[in-house]
Amino acid sequence: MTRMKSRRRFIRNVSMAALASPLLLGRGARPAAAASGHEARYYEKLGEMKVKCTLCPHECRVADLERGTCGVRENRGGTYYTLVYGNPCSVHTDPIEKKPLFHYLPGTQAFSIATAGCNFSCRFCQNWEISQKRPEQVKSVELGPAAVVHAARKNNCRTVAHTYTEPVVFFEYMLDCAARGREAGIPSVMISNGYIQKQPMRELCRVLGAVKIDLKAFTEKFYGEQCGGRLKPVLDTLLTLKEEKIWFEIVVLIVPTLNDGPAEIESMSRWIFKELGPDVPLHFSRYYPTFMIKNIPPTPPNALHAARKIAMDNGLKFVYIGNLLSEAENTFCPSCGKVLIRRLMFSVTVEGMKSNRCKFCGTAIPGVFA
Amino acid sequence: MTLSRREFSKTLIGTAMGAVVGFGADPTSQTAAETGKSAVILARSEKLKRIDDDIGEESARRFLDDALIRLTGKPKADLAWKSLFSPAETVGIKLSCLPGRKLSSSRGLVAAIVSGLSRAGVGPGRIVIWERTNRELENAGFRLSRSAPRVIGTDDAEGGGYSEELEASGSVATCFSRIIERVDALINVPVLKDHDVTGVSIGMKNFYGAIHNPNKYHGQHGDPFIADLCRHRFIHGKLRLTVVDATRIQIQNGPAYYPKYAKDHGALLIGRDPVAVDQCGWNILEELRRRAGFPTLAEAGREPTYIRTAARLGLGEDRDERIERIVLENG
């Protein structure tokens, strides 16, 4: 309970930082006007003022004046609009390890933004107070793509992270921020559930620097009952990321009794090894009770270690444990076993690498390290 | 003087004129309270047809009064209103204003309800007329008011919009409007509409306008979400009366106003059982759709099965033989 409250306080503070901190955003930042509109990039007009959203696999059919399941896209007279373009409700600077991305510019800061909304409704969502809200229900600021990049640079951030909620639902904003940042040498990273159609994902890959995907579980049952989505499209997104050769990492939040079965972890690990390769970093993260699941205690540490062992036994080389202090936060050389990057919470020391190789045995380490 | 489902639905569109009762309650006739059935009253009249997108308060008041007499078994309208509401209670009147003034709860009807409450001794300071947002209320032609009676959107509610705490109700987890949290009793004033996803939008669906995340609960045609939502104590424990505005009905392409498929019908549907009211509203919509050449909602792949689920959960009655349908005409 203590943790839940502090988490909620954190989210509120994150949100308020956007509104209150001229240090973060400069003096020009101002509250966003209520629910303005920017035409959506992916949708079809169906006639008689109906539309079909083609951004994510929900493929919502949306009647006039209604919104898609994300709550941030609205049909106005047969034209589909995103209501969150340029209006983040959370703005903060974070270590990139917090995303978590462990093999992408380690030890750097990410200028982190989110708008309201999500296309999932995970019953264990840690950020539900913004992800499960509509844009008019949260405080937001006006912060266009150019201002995002400017603020990132001003705050010594190497990247812009689209995070906290679900960036797929603010696709157009993320796309423009990423394109603008790329020109300025500040790449964007997408911290996502991967519930997106192939074409928009490919378009994003042209401008993003890296992606982190939350693989919620490895069963359709879990996705259907706990998240309001499907597994298959997420696996398809992972395959697309591999095809596109963009750097990506995977996080699995282990929720006791719901997705922690050894057979499920084994199937997942085998699929990752076979379809994505042994070099994809896999993070098993500790769950804490929140939102709609408050009756299941936090993940026991031994369950996380057991999952990690299964994944490594199945050939994955970089398997981490998150939300729990342990040696398993460190990056070890898969050849000589020496520590390459030492992590304690968000304190990072790169101690065993030279360029992108192990300085002890010369093994190449996958990722983007400079 | 009660009608079968088929007769009732046909009556609305003018084909079963003989099977109705005249305006003015007959105190000797059997009332819903006496039959033990869920009563739903259809008031239908030329005087309930919209002029300039509104109906007259006086006509609405007369039909409402008569309906309440029949629903409660009280001999006079004032007593009927008093049997449902007490002066010590704060009463929320939930409107339906999303489509703008062409297809929202009529202002004259709302004024008639306020009149009834005042005769029950509920002072204007204890009446809140509300919707999701101020903008929707204004677009529907209501003038916002912070003085008695208040006319406000949840977005303008004291303490800020929606509660911070999550409330669970079956499959639904949500933050409720602070208005519904605070009132003691509710009168629901929805509009009878086709709905592109949930099949129909009548009374129970109107409470999606009382929660912060309705977009999460349109899957599976709203089943079981709408029923689960209406189980919550803020709704099930407070709802006293549903007055469906069927003066203009959207029979296809709802829930927004689409003039090509909107029909002026000059009717109200009134009841205390929210499931029975929705069941009757659905029957009427199906009949109007059939006459216009549209497929049934089941054939269209959007049968409102949530009504059945609500009945199964004990929120009301959906069985034809357990619903008493009464038609009031003229006035």
| pLDDT of residue B225 exceeding 90 | yes
Residue A191 CA to residue A92 CA, distance in Å, equals: 14
pTM recorded for the entire structure: 0.89
What φ, ψ does residue B111 adopt, rounded to 5°? -65, -40
Query: Could you report the per-residue pLDDT of B170-197, keeping only the tens digit for each?
Result: 999 999 999 999 999 999 999 999 999 9
Residue A37 pLDDT class (50, 70, 90 cuts): confident
* Chain A residue numbers touching B138 (CB-CB < 8 A): none
Nearest CA in chain A to B252: A48
Do the Cβ atoms of B253 and A63 come within 8 Å?
yes
A334: DSSP letter: T
What pLDDT score was predicted for residue A9?
42
Q: Are strands B262-264 and B239-250 parallel, antiparallel or unpaired?
A: antiparallel
Q: Do the beta carbons of residue A196 and residue A56 sit within 8 Å?
A: yes
Q: What per-residue confidence (pLDDT) applies to A2?
A: 30
Is residue A149 a contact partner of residue A185, using CB atoms and an 8 Å limit?
no
pLDDT higher for B23 or B232? B232
- The two tokens of residue A157 are 């951030």
A132 contacts B213? CB cut-off 8 A:
yes
H helices present in chain A, as ranges: 2-20, 22-25, 128-131, 145-154, 171-184, 198-205, 220-222, 231-244, 262-271, 301-313
Query: What does pLDDT average to over chain A?
Result: 92
- Enter the tokens of residue B202: 């009548």
Q: What is the pLDDT of residue A163?
A: 98
- CA separation, residue A189 to residues A39, A141, A205, A249 (Å): 23, 21, 10, 11
Task: Answer yes or no: do A49 and B258 touch at CB < 8 A.
Answer: yes
CA atoms within 13 A on the CB side of B78: 4
Is residue B166 less than 8 Å (CB to CB) from chain A? yes
The pLDDT assigned to A345 comes to: 82
Q: Give me the mean pLDDT over the A97-122 stretch.
A: 97
CA distance B330 to A79: 43
Contact residues for A285 (Cβ-Cβ < 8 A; gap 6+): A100, A251, A252, A253, A254, A304, A321, A322, A323
Q: How many percent of chain B have pLDDT more than 90?
A: 87
Asked if B133's CB is within 8 angstroms of A136's CB, the reply is yes
State pLDDT tens for residues A165-188.
999 999 999 999 999 999 999 999
In angstroms, the separation between the Cα of residue B51 and the nearest Cα of chain A is 24
Confidence label for A13 from pLDDT (cuts 50, 70 and 90): very low
Q: What is the pLDDT of residues A195-220, one digit of tens each?
A: 999 999 999 999 999 999 999 999 99
Reference A317, options A292, A334, A296, A298; nearest CA is A334
Task: Name which residue leads in pLDDT, B289 or B23.
Answer: B289
pLDDT digits (tens, 9 = 90+) for A48-76: 999 999 999 999 999 999 999 999 999 99
Tokens of B222: 């709203």
Cα–Cα dist A274/A252, whole Å? 18
Please answer whether residues B62 and B100 qualify as being in contact, where contact means their C-beta atoms are separated by less than 8 angstroms.
Answer: no
Which is it for strands A357-358 and A73-76: parallel, antiparallel or unpaired? unpaired
Residues 283-302 of B with CB under 8 A from A: none
Q: Report which of B73, B58, B64, B26 is spatially closest to residue B43, judged by C-alpha positions.
A: B64
| Beta-carbon separation of A132 and B253 below 8 A | no
Interface mutation target, options B215, B217, B260, B261, chain A, most CBs of A under 10 Å: B215
pLDDT at A96 over 50: yes
The C-alpha atoms of residue A368 and residue A210 are separated, in whole angstroms, by 9
Query: What pLDDT does A54 receive?
Result: 98
Task: Please name the helix (run of DSSP H) or strand (run of DSSP E) that holds residue B31, with its range, or none.
Answer: none
| Residue B15 in this model has a pLDDT that exceeds 50 | no
The residue-averaged pLDDT of A94-109 equals 97
pLDDT digits (tens, 9 = 90+) for A302-342: 999 999 999 999 999 999 999 999 999 999 999 999 999 99
Kindly state whether B99 is in contact with chain A, defined as any CB-CB distance less than 8 angstroms.
yes
Q: How much is the pLDDT for A17?
A: 44
Which of A50, A65, A123 is facing B99, going by the closest CB pair? A65
Percent of the residues in chain B that have a pLDDT greater than 70, as a whole number: 89
The reported pLDDT for the residue numbered A21 is 53
ipTM for the complex shown? 0.86
A326-335, B6-15, B233-242, range with the lowest pLDDT: B6-15
Confidence of residue B27 (pLDDT cuts 50, 70, 90): very low
At B100-159, the pLDDT tens digits run 999 999 999 999 999 999 999 999 999 999 999 999 999 999 999 999 999 999 999 988
Q: Which stretches within chain B are classed as H helix?
A: 5-12, 32-35, 57-72, 77-84, 107-119, 134-139, 178-182, 225-231, 233-236, 274-291, 306-312
Position B160 scores a pLDDT of 79
3-class SS letters over B58-117: HHHHHHHHHHHHHHHCCCCHHHHHHHHCCCCCCEEEECCCCCCCCCCCCHHHHHHHHHHH
Positive or negative, the Cα torsion across B249, B251, B254, B260?
negative
List the single best residue of A52, A59, A65, A76 to mutate versus B (max B Cβ within 10 A). A65
Maximal CA-CA distance, chain A? 67
User: Is the predicted pLDDT of residue A19 greater than 50, yes or no?
Assistant: no
Residue of A nearest to B168 (CA): A292
pLDDT over 90, % of chain A: 89
In chain B, residues with a C-beta closer than 8 Å to the C-beta of A228 are: 216, 219
Residue in A64, A132, A292 nearest the CB of B168 = A292
